[in-house]
Amino acid sequence: MISRLFTIKKADFIKRKLTIIQRKLRLVMKCYSIRDFEVDEFEKKYKFKITRKINGVKLESKKQFEGTYEIDEVDEDRLSLRLKVGTSN
């Protein structure tokens, strides 16, 4: 399981929650894009597939990844976002 911690602005996260999670997942997974992205905001879980670009050719992964996210308040302006990613069975 991959786990990574990010510090982000609270106002940005409130406005663009899903976009920020997707962008940070791209960094964690070292991929070109995230596709088939589904989020369960009540349980704070997500599922997605990735696309990699190697020598100009896009390769879509058939493997589905899933994970959770945790949000903690650092101070009144910043949040701590922890993403955990693993493969689905």
Indicate whether 65 pLDDT > 90. yes
Do the strands 65-73 and 2-9 form a parallel or antiparallel pair, or are they unpaired? unpaired
What are 27-57's pLDDT values in tens digits?
Answer: 999 999 999 999 999 999 999 999 999 999 9
Indicate whether 89 pLDDT > 80. no
**Chain position carrying tokens 């960094």:** 27
Rounded CA-CA distance 28/53 in Å is 15
Residue 83, pLDDT score = 95
Residue 1, pLDDT score = 85
Indicate whether 23 pLDDT > 70. yes
Indicate whether 67 pLDDT > 70. yes
- Which pLDDT band holds residue 6 (cuts at 50, 70, 90)? very high
Q: Name 51's Cβ contacts closer than 8 Å, sequence gap at least 6.
A: 31, 32, 33, 34, 35, 58, 59, 60, 61
Q: How many helices (H) and strands (E) does the chain have?
A: 2, 6
Q: Model pTM?
A: 0.88
Rounded CA-CA distance 38/57 in Å is 25
In whole angstroms, how large is the CA radius of gyration of the chain?
14
Residue 87, pLDDT score = 85
